[in-house]
Amino acid sequence: MKLFVKEVVNSIKHIGAIAPSSRYLANNIIKHINFEDNQVIMEFGSGNGAITKQILKQMPSSSRLISLEINDPFLKHCQDKFKVYNNFEIYNHSAIEFDSLLKQLEIEKVDYLISSLPLAILPKADLDVLFKKIPQYLINDGSFVQYQYSLNKYKFLKSVFDNVTLGFTPINLPPAFIYKCT
């Protein structure tokens, strides 16, 4: 929590939150993942690892979690905190260009994209580039799961995906909406 507060003060523009996700929010997000062997899960914006931790706790060892984080202190924190997991990788690589990393790693598609990106403050050009690519990189029955503190991108997400279901977690600072998009 101390690291989170420090990084929020240094970089609120990129973090877009005042506190890490609560365990309730993290669990409500990952209940949308149907964990199976040999999956690839990609996470956008691991922060200090609130959601990362819950994914790693449930993910089988044959599956792989690839997290992207552009904040170095958060990246180092997660590298250290989750070093016991051989199926976890984290890169200082922007989620906007997640496809170039997948190409480097020779991965065609992923099963799940779990995003904590602050969509409300992302530049429109980045948003458009990112969401044009996301559906192309999900397997057929894959999902994109995102949380937000407001509903301001609900309509936008419905314009990108065939199906968007909405959830709500009151026990979080602030309370959060969860979009599951397929």
Ligand X SMILES: C[S@@+](CC[C@H](N)C(=O)[O-])C[C@H]1O[C@@H](n2cnc3c(N)ncnc32)[C@H](O)[C@@H]1O
Q: Which residues bind ligand X (CB under 6 A)?
A: 14-17, 20-21, 44-47, 50-51, 68-71, 74, 94-96, 116-118
d(CA 180, CA 147): 9
Nearer to ligand X, 37 or 64 (CB): 64
Q: Count other Cβ atoms within 10 Å, centred on residue 30.
A: 20
CB of residue 22 vs ligand X: minimum separation in angstroms? 9
CB of residue 121 vs ligand X: minimum separation in angstroms? 9
Determine contact, residues 169/24, Cβ cutoff 8 Å: yes
CB of residue 162 vs ligand X: minimum separation in angstroms? 25
Nearer to ligand X, 18 or 62 (CB): 18
Nearer to ligand X, 63 or 116 (CB): 116
Nearer to ligand X, 62 or 174 (CB): 174
Nearer to ligand X, 26 or 181 (CB): 26
Collapsing DSSP to helix, strand or coil, 29 comes out as helix
Amino acid occupying residue 74: F
CB of residue 50 vs ligand X: minimum separation in angstroms? 4
Question: What H or E segment, with its residue span, contains residue 78?
Answer: helix 72-81
End-to-end CA separation in angstroms for the chain: 32
d(CA 35, CA 32): 9
CB of residue 109 vs ligand X: minimum separation in angstroms? 19
Buried b (16+ CB within 10 A) or exposed e, 122-139: beeeebeebbeebeebbe
